[in-house]
Amino acid sequence: MMPRVSRLAPFALAAVFAAGCASFSDEWDRAVDHYQAGRYRPAVQKFNELEPEIPRKSIAIRTQFYFYRGMSNLRAGKRRDARHDLAVADELADQDSTALTELEKQDLDDALQELGLGRGASMTPSQ
């Protein structure tokens, strides 16, 4: 009986791992869907829930995370939070030029201008 259980263990572990990956993907899709539907506060909430996973993700995913959360914050009226996230997205986008679409890059540039930051500017407020 013991060998049968041990043969199933790798499959159980793989199923748990796959469920974790699917969970991130599903939650990511929900957060982006909220943003695209103009539901900015729920989008911010979902992105905040995903934040602990972000450091382990690729530069592209991290860039998109900070872009979408920053844009959601901006449109929800949370300019300070938006400023931080969009500045981080801008820095990360410099490391991976394919992380954002051309439209997202334009939205990022426009948002940075709206917040008084130029492309590549520091997060320190201007005097």
- The pLDDT tens digits for 56-68 are 999 999 999 999 9
Residue 24 tokens read as 């991130």
pLDDT in tens, 96-118: 999 999 999 999 999 999 999 87
Domains for the chain: give ranges and CATH numbers.
Answer: 27-114 (1.25.40)
Residue 57 phi, psi (nearest 5) = -95, 170
Contact 108, 90 (CB under 8 A): yes
**For residue 83, how far is the Cα from the chain centroid?**
15
Question: Residue 69: its pLDDT value, please?
Answer: 98
Residue 12 tokens read as 């159980």
Split at pLDDT 50, 70, 90, the class of 95 is very high
pLDDT in tens, 34-82: 999 999 999 999 999 999 999 999 999 999 999 999 999 999 999 999 9
Asked if residue 126 has pLDDT above 60, the reply is no
As a three-state string, the secondary structure of 56-119 is HCCHHHHHHHHHHHHHHHHHCCCHHHHHHHHHHHHHHHHHCCCCCCHHHHHHHHHHHHHCCCCC
Rounded to two decimals, what is the model's pTM?
A: 0.76
